[in-house]
Amino acid sequence: MNKRITSDVPIVSIIDDDESVLDALVFLMASVGLQSKMFSSAKVFLAEYDPLERGCIVSDIRMPGMSGLELQQELTKRDCTLPLVFITGHGDIPMAVEAIKNGAVDFHTKPFRDQDLLDSINKAIEQNELLQQTTDQQNTIQRCLSTLTRREREILDCVVEGKSNKLIADQLNLSPRTVETHRGHMMEKMQVKTLAELFKLVQ
């Protein structure tokens, strides 16, 4: 029960003020092998959540203190990208419209079919993983770019614009041989072997 949960396993954070709903959902998650955590209010969740965590949030809409829609706004403000799935006992149409327009993955009214909720959760986790991959990739590219010297960066920009070594040499007042050397270092630091790979990276 209390085993350490690492951030590379997706975790479903469940927020509801109704303890019986929390218990039922935790049981449902466990039955399909998903890790989950329970929170009795949006405030408690905000105080405890780890920005590096992967997974998604399943939240009630109407809760004392902070509502689910207020939580959604707060998470947007904090640049939290964990996808939200809403569940509610007394939802109305304006609420549903606002939740989805603001990016919620789904909005389920109780009683809902377990499978419908699980489908939304799987979709949310998948969405979060895709975003995480893109962010990781961008971070790697940024890291590579930051290792380039100013000269190498200039040459990278020229190469991406499709300029030949000779043209770059003329433009930067270097010998073609020097351009070639810088270009070689740049490609090495960007961890690419072909121009096609480089274009794909920096496009």
Partner 1 sequence: MYNRSTKQPSERIVAGSIVYLADRDMAVTHSIQLLLKTEKIVSHVFDTGESLLNQVLKAPPACIVMDAIMPDIDGASLLKRMQKHGLQTPVILLGGNSEIPAVVDAIKSGAWDYFEKPFLQHTLIDSVRRAIALQGHL
Provide the binding-site residues for partner 1, judged by CB under 8 A.
91-94, 96-97, 100-101, 106-107, 109
| Nearer CB in complex with partner 1: 120/128 | 120
Please tell me what DSSP assigns to residue 65. S
Rounded to a whole number of angstroms, the minimum distance from the CB of residue 113 to partner 1 is 11
Residues 6+ apart with CB under 8 A from 49: 13, 80, 82
Helices (H) and strands (E) counted in the chain, each on its own, are 9, 5
Query: Using H for helix, E for strand and C for coil, what is the string for 107-132?
Result: EEECCCCHHHHHHHHHHHHHHHHHHH
41 dihedral zone (left: phi>0; alpha: psi -120 to 50; beta): beta
Rounded to a whole number of angstroms, the minimum distance from the CB of residue 185 to partner 1 is 43
- Residues, the chain: 203
Cβ atoms of 143 and 57 within 8 Å: the answer is: no
Rounded to a whole number of angstroms, the minimum distance from the CB of residue 101 to partner 1 is 6
Rounded to a whole number of angstroms, the minimum distance from the CB of residue 143 to partner 1 is 35
Task: Give the Cα separation of 141 and 83 in Å (integer).
Answer: 25
Amino acid at 119: D
Rounded to a whole number of angstroms, the minimum distance from the CB of residue 41 to partner 1 is 24
- Tell me how far apart the terminal alpha carbons of the chain are, to the nearest angstrom: 46
Rounded to a whole number of angstroms, the minimum distance from the CB of residue 67 to partner 1 is 17
Task: Give the Cα separation of 94 and 106 in Å (integer).
Answer: 14
| Nearer CB in complex with partner 1: 30/100 | 100
3-class SS of residue 49 = coil
| Nearer CB in complex with partner 1: 33/94 | 94
Give the tokens for residue 195: 């121009």
| Nearer CB in complex with partner 1: 104/169 | 104
| Nearer CB in complex with partner 1: 36/128 | 128
| Nearer CB in complex with partner 1: 63/99 | 99
